[in-house]
Amino acid sequence: MRYTLFLLGFMVISLISAAQMTVKEFNIESQYLNIPVSMEQERQMVKFVEGADTVTYSVIRISDGEPDYWVFKDVSAWKGKTLKMVFSRHVKGLDKIYQSDRFAGQDSLYREINRPQFHFTTRRGWINDPNGLVYHNGEYHLFYQHNPYETQWENMHWGHAVSTDLLHWTELNTALYPDTLGTMFSGSAVIDHNNSAGWGKDAMVAFYTAAGRKMTQNVAWSLDNGRTLTKYDGNPILGPDRDPKVFWYEPAKVWVMVLYDDNFLVIYNSKDLKSWEYKSRNKGFYECPELFELAVDGDQNNRKWVMYGASGTYMTGDFNGEVFTPDAGKYFYSWGSQYAAQTFNNTPDGRRIQIGWGRIEQRGMPFNQMMLFPAELTLRTTREGVRLFCEPVREIGKLHGRKHSWTDLSGAEANEKLHAVNGDLLHLKMDIGIVGWWTFEVLYRGNSLLNFDGNFNRFNGAPYTCDDPGSLRFKVEMLIDRTSVEAFIGNGKLFISEGLKPAKNNDGLQIRGNTWVYSMEVNELNSVYQ
Ligand code: FRU
């Protein structure tokens, strides 16, 4: 009896949901489908179907009244074909979905009030981890975790942008869509110079996690500079958990994968990029692993390996292609908004360049979060031992506009001079000492961006000691964009990144505290969208 009731209930529910289901057909003539979104709406499942096959799916908050913002799907691949959208629930917004060669809001793209002007942000939707960072044929590729349909985390796709100079990024079409194995979680990319996988010499090969009922590792390849990634038909290639970082280990001529699995960073080897053999594991890190080698103080005969996880805490040590043996750590070099940073494979000049996800809310915008400014990582000997340093890539210099520079000023004199600085995109470098008391602060538009507390020895809460412990003298470099600030203390020994608070006043940069400014340089920056 109970079973019959259950069955009856189930049939009624199925009938109701089938009744609510709406199918819309679009004969695709234009580049985009524009979709109205309201954050008050529940997410509903939307399937994109071509012929009889589901091409991909997402959950979208399609508006029932006035949309909060519009998002788009690039449908140029279906031009001349019919694309069906199957909705699980009928709302008014379904009838507002329209095709166009422009996406809604495109006319003001990159001129929105809170749009970062020299950091990568996506046109629409949410982004988190950088993925598949790789240099190839003159381009830096930045793939990333992307929800194209909302300003919150969901529906992970791989977005894709390219740059020739690490400054100007062109956002391309979505690189990886959710499929029957799951949504597209984080991973990495390599260039297969020797054609180990058989997809062609110099193929770009991307590794990603599919997050479905289980997490699996998968691979896709491209012979057209990353413009189309073809998923391997033998996927998945490996079991749990997530975030494969793959690189080439030259001494053993082997591919290495570091994978986050069950609280370990697990190391695998492969000859063909498809079958992977377990080698070893390290405890102490969470998500988004990295493992790379750096020269200490630039000495190529003295090299060390660095292992880090998503939070940016790291260990240094040795690596023989199969086993990472830590010799020091865990330390941290990054503090604040950065998470899930990754470094580029295959850089042309051997620099170890990192991009981190800046967990920074882009208030009132149809896009959310940002990538932090590309930074070069180095290992240097300090009073406390060998440490990881992080500094903005030198390319920032290409954005310099008007330059102001002064030497030997009291803090009060520096504040007077700083009134001459204009603009809200700034690159500051200073050498500053505390004269009296034990603290100093850098303010911008009435908010504290940086504060050093010499009593507890902390910058914005992060423990910090200078190499000359008695001096209370600091090298400070800062990048200020519309919505973010990045500070590199002591030539990058400590990297701090944070979101900017809404301006309290119109004052630009000011220093508070009894300080002596040995030197100060402020560069007004040009927007990359000029
Ligand atoms: C880190 C992370 C990864 C995962 C991805 C999903 O921010 O949780 O472990 O692959 O984000 O978006």
Quickly list DSSP for 337-365: SEEEEEE-BS-TT---EEEEEE----TT-
Confidence at residue 88, expressed as pLDDT on a 0 to 100 scale: 96
Residue 71, phi then psi, degrees to nearest 5: -120, 175
CA of 416 to the centre of ligand 1 (A): 46
Best of 126, 131, 145, 209 for a ligand 1 pocket test (most atoms within 8 Å of beta carbon): 145
Residue 170 CA from chain centroid, whole number: 15
Residue 241 Cβ inside 6 Å of ligand 1? The answer reads no
Best of 122, 127, 128, 153 for a ligand 1 pocket test (most atoms within 8 Å of beta carbon): 128
Q: What is the pLDDT along the chain (530 residues), one digit of tens a residue?
A: 455 554 555 555 555 555 579 999 999 999 999 999 999 999 999 999 999 999 999 999 999 999 999 999 999 999 999 999 999 999 999 999 999 999 999 999 999 999 999 999 999 999 999 999 999 999 999 999 999 999 999 999 999 999 999 999 999 999 999 999 999 999 999 999 999 999 999 999 999 999 999 999 999 999 999 999 999 999 999 999 999 999 999 999 999 999 999 899 999 999 999 999 999 999 999 999 999 999 999 999 999 999 999 998 999 999 999 999 999 999 999 999 999 999 999 999 999 999 999 999 999 999 999 999 999 999 999 999 999 999 999 999 999 999 999 999 999 999 999 999 999 999 999 999 999 878 999 999 999 999 999 999 999 999 998 878 888 999 999 999 999 999 999 999 999 999 999 999 999 999 999 999 999 999 999 999 98
Which stretches within 350-497 are classed as H helix? 411-418
Scan for tokens 């809001």, then name that residue.
105
Q: Strands 473-480 and 230-231: what pairing?
A: unpaired
Cα–Cα distance for residue pair 158/332, rounded to 1 Å: 28
CA of 241 to the centre of ligand 1 (A): 11
Nearest atom, ligand 1, residue 145 CA: 12
Is 129 considered catalytic here?
A: yes
Residue 340 Cβ inside 6 Å of ligand 1? The answer reads yes
CA of 312 to the centre of ligand 1 (A): 14
Q: What is the DSSP letter of 7?
A: H
Could you give the 3-state DSSP secondary structure of residue 169? Answer: coil
Q: What is the DSSP letter of 317?
A: E
Question: 3.30.70, 2.20.28, 2.60.120, 2.30.30: which CATH number matches 21-106?
Answer: 2.60.120
* CATH code, residues 400-525: 2.60.120.560
Domain chopping of the chain, boundaries:
21-106, 109-392, 400-525
Residue 211 Cβ inside 6 Å of ligand 1? The answer reads no
Confidence at residue 467, expressed as pLDDT on a 0 to 100 scale: 79
Cα–Cα distance for residue pair 255/273, rounded to 1 Å: 7
Residue 172's identity, in one-letter code, is: L
Residue 205 Cβ inside 6 Å of ligand 1? The answer reads no
Confidence at residue 281, expressed as pLDDT on a 0 to 100 scale: 98
CA of 345 to the centre of ligand 1 (A): 20
Residue nearest to atom 9 of ligand 1 (CA): 287
Cis, peptide link before residue 253, omega less than 30° from 0: no
For residue 43, CA distances in Å to 38, 88, 92, 177 come to 10, 10, 14, 18
Q: Strands 473-480 and 462-463: what pairing?
A: unpaired
Residue 204 Cβ inside 6 Å of ligand 1? The answer reads no
User: Are 460 and 451 spatial neighbours (Cβ–Cβ below 8 Å)?
Assistant: yes
Structure token digits, residue 422: 């204009």
User: Are 499 and 360 spatial neighbours (Cβ–Cβ below 8 Å)?
Assistant: yes
Cis, peptide link before residue 431, omega less than 30° from 0: no
Residue 177's identity, in one-letter code, is: Y
Residue 220, phi then psi, degrees to nearest 5: -145, 155
Cβ neighbours for 355, distance < 8 A, ≥ 6 positions apart: 120, 130, 133, 142, 341, 342, 344, 371, 372, 374, 375
Residue 288 Cβ inside 6 Å of ligand 1? The answer reads yes
Residue 209 Cβ inside 6 Å of ligand 1? The answer reads yes
- Judge whether 21-106 and 109-392 match in fold: no
Confidence at residue 468, expressed as pLDDT on a 0 to 100 scale: 84
* Alpha-carbon dihedral 303, 304, 309, 313, rounded to 10 degrees: -110
Scan for tokens 């070893």, then name that residue.
280
CA of 342 to the centre of ligand 1 (A): 12
Residue 259 Cβ inside 6 Å of ligand 1? The answer reads no
Residue nearest to atom 8 of ligand 1 (CA): 287
Structure token digits, residue 42: 């529940």
Q: How many H-runs (helices) and E-runs (strands) does the chain carry?
A: 2, 41
Residue 243 Cβ inside 6 Å of ligand 1? The answer reads yes
For domain 109-392, give the fold.
Tachylectin-2; Chain A (2.115.10)
Q: In what order do the strands lie in the sheet with 509-512?
A: 462-463, 458-459, 447-453, 439-444, 509-512
Catalytic residue among 64, 129, 241, 318: 129
